[in-house]
Amino acid sequence: MQRASRLKRELSILTTEPPPGITCWQNEDQLDDLRAQILGGADTPYEKGIFNLEIVVPERYPFEPPKIRFLTPIYHPNIDSAGRICLDVLKLPPKGAWRPSLNISTLLTSIQLLMAEPNPDDPLMADISSEYKYNKQLFLLNAKEWTEKYASQ
């Protein structure tokens, strides 16, 4: 019950006052199956891209973080080919930084920030990470190319 009312409240806030560049909605009336879109930030290789994400809310939410993954392929050191995201707020402590006080809006904003500022020191994709560190021009070129190929409308 607590989970359902909290999710309804969060979705209502996401609908009426969404963070800039982020939208989120229920997938086919399933309260625990959400979809989101994040617009690629200006001055990033993801600019003008529209990235779709899947959000699965666990039974124990908010005591357990939602599982979020990219449905749109993205060229990024912290996001793998299955769309999984390496981000501390998406994991429970001690390895992660999830807290029940966080919400879906905060998580989506954190993912948007990660897109703009990758963390090459905690990569899921080692090859992309070293490209980001040692050949940034090539990384930017590849990321732009993927954005045009997969995230353009």
Active site residues: 86
Q: Which of 11, 144, 20 is nearest to 76 (CA)?
A: 144
Q: Tokens 């699965």 appear where?
A: 56
User: Which amino acid would we find at residue 44?
Assistant: T
CB atoms within 10 A of CB 108: 25
CA distance 14 to 27: 14
What is the rounded radius of gyration, in angstroms, for the C-alpha atoms of the chain? Answer: 16
**Terminal-residue alpha carbon distance, the chain:** 38
